[in-house]
Structure 1
Amino acid sequence: MIHNPNNIVTAGVPLEKAGKVMVMVHGRGGSARDVLSLSQYIDAQDEFAFIAPEAHQNSWYPYSFLQPTERNEPYLSSALTTLEMVRARLQSDFNLKPSQIYWLGFSQGACLTLEFVARNPQVYGGVFGLSGGLIGPEGAPRDYAGTLDGTPVFLGCSDTDSHIPKERVLETEAVLSRMGAEVTTTLYPNFAHTINEDELKTINLLLRGR
């Protein structure tokens, strides 16, 4: 394993008392603490534990998410296994159902999170992919098995993001919708590669609606 699944930081309600957990996945060059700071903008503070794994040397995989997947190995497989181990621990050690688990990722972390959810579909509490999309080159087969069966998903991204083509965001929307997710997508005109207030507001609205 390149990434250490035990290298995690937590915030919010203690895991053993939490009714809901949000797994937060940082971007390239970011850290678990960085992404965890977003937890202060989540309204339902008193219900949630927040948990953030940290990538080896602050990057989940070396190249763009649009490259052939084998170029990003073995880092990508290790990153996906890290999320799998975090989820398994939440379910076995803290008795949480998938519907009590929420996923939020930004940039490289959003790509990783969305790919993980597509490969490991369940009825999750919610999935929030900020400036990201499914991993792989154009034309990659998207024959994921299983269903997200009503899981609320939010995809937010600039329509001119230099890292994330809007076409990939829309493809991700189509694939996850086909898998049964209820997807909300917002492309922000000429916006920077960052997280904005409207995205946080949308996340809170979806959390309240669930």
Structure 2
Amino acid sequence: MSLQRNMKWIGSKSINQLESPLKTIALCKGNNIKNVIICMHGFGDNAANFSSLGNEIKIDDVLWLFPQGPRSYPMGEDGSQWFPLFNNPTEERRVSEDSILQLLFNVTECLKLEMNKIFILGFSQGAAMSLLCGLKSKEKLAGILSLSGFLIQPHVIKNTYSGEGIETPLFIAHGNQDQVIFPATYFETIDSLKDMGCKKLRSKIYSMGHSICQEEIKDITKFLEEYR
């Protein structure tokens, strides 16, 4: 397969065998891929909209992957979700989790990269998936970035590590005026991660609502550069 199933490219294509279990936007920056950043959009958004983030963060030699949630969001135009908010999410969340982890595995196999060269980033519901997949996999990644999100199944994740501590660096960001996912959730997430033994935890709360601001973009860039 030369142009892979579910993969849409923006910019130059330096690889041609990567497959995705989800509809995915791929943005390649530079000719020598040193890191991959897998980015999950929020509830009701889509991969195409969220892919603009790859142009705001100025880092070279990176492959950005923006998978799209597997289930459409009927109340939004071209919107998708990783799991439903208004009924039992367990089964659909598991499907999303498996698909994201499969994409992660495909990336490492195709590019011959170690797991510690992969970042997982998400916003809102996508942030919840980035934490869930990144931590439950127990692999040491380059980093996990949770933007305006929340932590799913903290008791399950804590039991996974059994006192070993979390080696993957984490960046947790939130808005102090967030009316979608309240700021209290941010502090609960920080407390849970500390309780799990997270060894490299960076966190910051910004003067904003449920969004991403320029100050946050700068801090994301610093985090990526530090741990790449």
Query: TM-score range, shorter-chain basis?
Result: 0.7 to 0.9
Query: Which residue identity does 1:79 align to in structure 2?
Result: S
Please say if 1:53 is aligned against 2:53: no
Alignment of 1:2-13 (within 5 A): 5-13=21-29
Please name the residue that 1:67 is paired with: none
Structure 1: distance between partners of 2:58 and 2:29? 13
Please name the residue that 2:206 is paired with: 188
SS of 1:156 mapped into structure 2? strand
Alignment of 1:105-116 (within 5 A): 105-116=122-133
Identical-pair percentage: 22
Please say if 1:23 is aligned against 2:27: no
Please say if 1:103 is aligned against 2:120: yes
SS of 1:176 mapped into structure 2? helix
Residue 206 to residue 129, structure 1, CA distance change in 2 (3 Å): same
TM-score (norm 2): 0.77
Please name the residue that 2:10 is paired with: none
Please name the residue that 2:6 is paired with: none
Alignment of 1:61-210 (within 5 A): 61-63=83-85, 71-135=88-152, 143-146=158-161, 147-149=165-167, 151-177=168-194, 178-189=196-207, 191-210=208-227
Structure 1 runs (4+) deviating above 6 angstroms are: none
Please name the residue that 2:4 is paired with: none
Structure 2: distance between partners of 1:188 and 1:43? 21
Q: CA RMSD in A?
A: 2.3
Structure 2: distance between partners of 1:193 and 1:131? 7
Structure 2: distance between partners of 1:120 and 1:201? 28
SS of 1:145 mapped into structure 2? helix
SS of 1:23 mapped into structure 2? strand
Structure 2: distance between partners of 1:35 and 1:195? 11
Q: CA deviation at 1:43?
A: 2.1
Structure 1: distance between partners of 2:49 and 2:159? 31
Structure 1: distance between partners of 2:47 and 2:24? 7
Greater radius of gyration (CA): 2
Count of aligned pairs? 196
The answer (yes or no) to whether the contact 2:171–2:201 under 8 Å persists in 1 is yes
Q: CA deviation at 1:30?
A: 0.9
The answer (yes or no) to whether the contact 2:118–2:142 under 8 Å persists in 1 is yes
- Unmatched 5+ stretches in structure 1: 65-69
Structure 2: distance between partners of 1:144 and 1:116? 15
Q: CA deviation at 1:17?
A: 4.5
SS of 2:122 mapped into structure 1? strand
User: Greater relative contact order (Cα 8 A, min sep 6): structure 1 or 2?
Assistant: 1
